[in-house]
Structure 1
């Protein structure tokens, strides 16, 4: 609710609004309110994806739910369920996974939209709907599928002939004849841009549905208890991600080292979600993760490696929610060299979910309402540690390729609006440096414990590739010296010669093409690019 809304609700006008502003500031400083952009809200909040328990319908027939997991000091919030006609029927005490939107209504704080009913995992399919006299049929576009599905008239959901539709199995599995399906989403013309991602998923056989046993294991998962974990909930770890990030995998925090023997040094914490607590070796979740290997991202959707209950909830470091994590505490000297590290299984509570742009703007002197209180205690110490790491990086001279990432911007209809360059900010580089450092610490820890592991290996370029790069450089009037053992500083010197000239992008791309393909291996042959 904004200050204007509050003033209107209580009939506050004129000079009295100054007093209202003062009262709101006092409530904010005492922790009763939290200001986000230009609105005030209770700091107790729910994650955007939550497990809910359905309550009895009220006297008006509206269906509400309560959160299964609630850590706030305020009263437990009520969630109004906004259901579609194609959603399955829900009853009291049903557990569901829902996507939440915060609202300001009299009798509820959130609206919830059903992702799925927990304990159910209906088979889904994508196909072209063909209308007949009494209902219709769906012709699947799944790779290798030749079975049609029958749709009774009551389950057509308004679909038109020729539309791309998403449907789920309806009725018993062992019925004779064509299986029955219920249309749950109309996706329109299959040639339209928004349908391309879904068609690509099915045409390439990317598994976008989880087996029943995998869903059952995920549904049984409960938030990890503190137990013997180190309690880091009072440490202001923050997540920094793209503005459109769907989940939050890692968090960081830094502060000056108070050890008198390490004058000017820094302590950097990096925490990641403790996925291994939920995905145990040999489990159905583990086998499915092995099968998928990774999450697959499209411009308008993601096919996750793990079910939503984990990827969007228990294994996502949401702001203000206790989450199990694995954290590493790394001590740096004033020149950015790592002195020591320590790993711990812990419980954290993210102080803020920020994006790269607002973090960089805060450091550049333009903080917003969310970053301003974090600037001195959290953001500035993070950047101080990053600048120390930059000193070490400059001494190490890793390969400094400048290849801006391109971002395809889509309209709501899925059409390409523009192809933009993504800004590469110091905020991006800072998180990259922290993650590389944490990975180095992890490798050192596993080697010290004689634990088998896979290294990311990047061998030096072949003589033939280097000779080709040298010819490209010479044609541009630039020099890549020969007759010496190649080091990344030699390639950086070439890149510096090209910087700002008409050959800048060409030399960067040619240098990239001269590199060998990085791979994972049991032997540590080093990483040429990171020096």
Structure 2
């Protein structure tokens, strides 16, 4: 064997690690001293160096830098490649094996407690120096230090100045200045790109690593959000193949309840492609109703441990943009086999409910069933049919009319264990899904909803009726209009049926002491309530913090306000005081809905939390189906890992939900800015929605789209910020700007790439700074010739301030 030669003299840390890695025998201080030709005091220095390296974790007491399994150094730089259920997964940042084997996937264990609170959570792309250790047949790592570089990846649009130099105009509205590009990587002017630092030096510039295309093309705004927030949007081939295999699973009529004879209807948005839920109700003859909520049986097709399941866990939920949907499940499942389409036999998880005359749920029962949806109806169409009947009169006598005969349903259906069927339903002949259902089917639903609504009013959940923006696109993918989403009774009907089923699912699992992924909404914190109290005081309204804070307390406060503008302001303030809802295995109730136990059960096609609740019901109530003959996991209940610990996956799902909400909001902001970009210079009626020491936030009334009014545009005088009252006050004039104030403002900037809007007062006083157009400094000057060279503007760049001499 050829003996390796090493440089003579005291080795560096890296040379020590290289020697240990290449040594065929245990490498101690004696062997190193011999290899590097050390004598006398150099041996003492080597001993000190090895001690320091051991203290730093670079080597262990045996002077070994690599694990017995080989390949992964005990201390190395890792790159985070994905977040799996809240746990970062990493690979070695520098991986060059002799056998071209793929890099090992290493589970990164982030610190807990106070240490975790002081450090930001790791994200995809981050680089860390970490200690690694063997764990079974794999590795785990403990971060020592987060390194620069991973979080510096930036998305933006390529711009060229007059000299031909490339600049990156960031799409993040928080970054105002363009960044120089040192390596275009084949990108052209105007293209949307991903770039990262080209070196450690601040002067190294950015290097383009991916060209994403035209930033203003149809569907580009959602693509920006997808990349910015790291949302997975391409299914691995294995997940799609397995989904196609699962889609062919036959339904067992022997182990499923047959509900195909019921005229169940799905009421959904007109453009919906995936139908999670469908509903049915009929009078029970005692003033109440028997109801059914049928939910797509996704757990039958997406089994724990499968590749499809792993991808769904990673996504956490579907993400809905104005121009696309990023589904949680492959299309063969989400838009076809799992979707409750009319006239087709579908697997469903059925929630049978008994609603009494006061609207309370007295009994519930869960089964796996086969259903055939009678009709899929758009919300607007269902509302139109009900309105045409002149209302939704109950087809049964009211509970007060005790002397009148009650309607008794046929007993044959009850004997088969099915909810009984109203005579009108039997006469329809809609079991095969042909044509519109009889109007009595919808009337029964509306009448049952009236009882549920009565119970809702009795518990008095938080009622914040805030407008929601809806971006409407034309066939070319361009904005047709930005409208406020209409709220119909049809929406409320479906919503209250879903809430009832969600409560039943949580209580059914509690009855079996089974694991539950609760949907938790905690009461407002003391800090937020104190801020709300101070804000309400500016309206001469009181909020006593000594009383029990309930949703009805806020509702009564809002009900007493006659002025609609003031009510909208206080409604927004109450909303800001609320905590963020989340998923967790320990019940803390749902403050907003005024419910003690609540879980998400009704949307397993688009929410993984609902899928976990379905699996828990399968285990708790013995609803497992025959083992599939196909090459798929045998069971459809909870996995052993989830049964033992739901906290980790619940936290990951909460994070995925927040990620989706931010991405959807960012995309809508970009569409609104794009729509308004042709209206720059126009004057709008706006309402102040936020006051900060640097300016105001205002939204266009009737449209939405928050924009900044910089404090520098408000006047030549100094403005003082009153944080408690949330207002700006002019020192000389005493002019005030407060939350809720109606102002006429001129739109000064609308940037579709960032979604940023900026306003300024209609009459800008003399000497007051007007809004500077974003990124204009880099192209303002014209290149000029100096001899045979092209010279740019002389002097210090305009975006760099003189710092003065340091003392």
Q: TM-score if structure 2 supplies the norm length? A: 0.41
The CA deviation at 1:213 is: 1.4
What is the aligned counterpart of 2:216 among 179, 191, 200? 191
1:22 corresponds in structure 2 to none
What are the equivalent positions in structure 2 for 1:37-52 lying under 5 Å apart? none
What is the aligned counterpart of 2:235 among 197, 210, 230? 210
Q: Deviations over 1:210-243 (max 9, x none)?
A: 1121111112121532331001111111111111
Q: Deviations over 1:106-125 (max 9, x none)?
A: xxxxxxxxxxxxxxxxxxxx
What is the aligned counterpart of 1:446 among 490, 509, 513? 509
Structure 2 unmatched runs, 5+? 1-156, 158-182, 194-211, 391-432, 595-807
1:242 corresponds in structure 2 to 269
2:250 corresponds in structure 1 to 224
What is the aligned counterpart of 1:475 among 538, 541, 563? 538
Inter-CA distance 147–323: structure 2 relative to 1 (3 Å threshold):
farther
Is contact 1:480-1:491 (8 Å) kept?
no
1:502 corresponds in structure 2 to 565
Is contact 2:343-2:434 (8 Å) kept?
no
The CA deviation at 1:465 is: 1.8
Inter-CA distance 473–372: structure 2 relative to 1 (3 Å threshold):
farther
The CA deviation at 1:474 is: 3.1
Mapped to 1, the partners of 2:592 and 2:562 lie a distance apart of 19
What are the equivalent positions in structure 2 for 1:95-174 lying under 5 Å apart? none
Give the secondary structure class of the aligned counterpart of 1:502: helix
The CA deviation at 1:204 is: 4.0
The CA deviation at 1:162 is: 8.6
The CA deviation at 1:479 is: 4.4
What is the aligned counterpart of 1:311 among 317, 334, 350? 334
What is the aligned counterpart of 2:553 among 485, 490, 505? 490
Give the secondary structure class of the aligned counterpart of 2:219: helix
What are the equivalent positions in structure 2 for 1:410-449 lying under 5 Å apart? 410-449=473-512
The CA deviation at 1:206 is: 2.3
Is contact 2:374-2:437 (8 Å) kept?
no
Give the secondary structure class of the aligned counterpart of 2:565: coil
Give the secondary structure class of the aligned counterpart of 1:343: strand
Q: Say whether 1:462 aligns with 2:488.
A: no
Is contact 1:358-1:371 (8 Å) kept?
no
2:587 corresponds in structure 1 to 524
1:284 corresponds in structure 2 to 307
Q: Deviations over 1:332-365 (max 9, x none)?
A: 1101011100101000011111111111111111
The CA deviation at 1:456 is: 1.4
Is contact 1:336-1:392 (8 Å) kept?
yes
Mapped to 2, the partners of 1:371 and 1:313 lie a distance apart of 19
Mapped to 2, the partners of 1:316 and 1:294 lie a distance apart of 16
Give the secondary structure class of the aligned counterpart of 1:252: strand
Q: Deviations over 1:83-141 (max 9, x none)?
A: xxxxxxxxxxxxxxxxxxxxxxxxxxxxxxxxxxxxxxxxxxxxx9xxxxxxxxxxxxx
The CA deviation at 1:366 is: 6.6
The number of aligned residues is: 355
The CA deviation at 1:164 is: 8.9
Give the secondary structure class of the aligned counterpart of 1:347: strand
Is contact 2:302-2:308 (8 Å) kept?
yes
What is the aligned counterpart of 1:386 among 440, 449, 474? 449
Mapped to 1, the partners of 2:593 and 2:574 lie a distance apart of 15
Mapped to 2, the partners of 1:422 and 1:164 lie a distance apart of 31
Inter-CA distance 500–220: structure 2 relative to 1 (3 Å threshold):
same
Give the secondary structure class of the aligned counterpart of 1:374: coil
Is contact 1:251-1:270 (8 Å) kept?
yes
Inter-CA distance 411–164: structure 2 relative to 1 (3 Å threshold):
farther
Inter-CA distance 362–300: structure 2 relative to 1 (3 Å threshold):
same
Give the secondary structure class of the aligned counterpart of 1:342: strand
Mapped to 1, the partners of 2:453 and 2:389 lie a distance apart of 23
Give the secondary structure class of the aligned counterpart of 2:388: coil
1:177 corresponds in structure 2 to none
The CA deviation at 1:193 is: 4.4
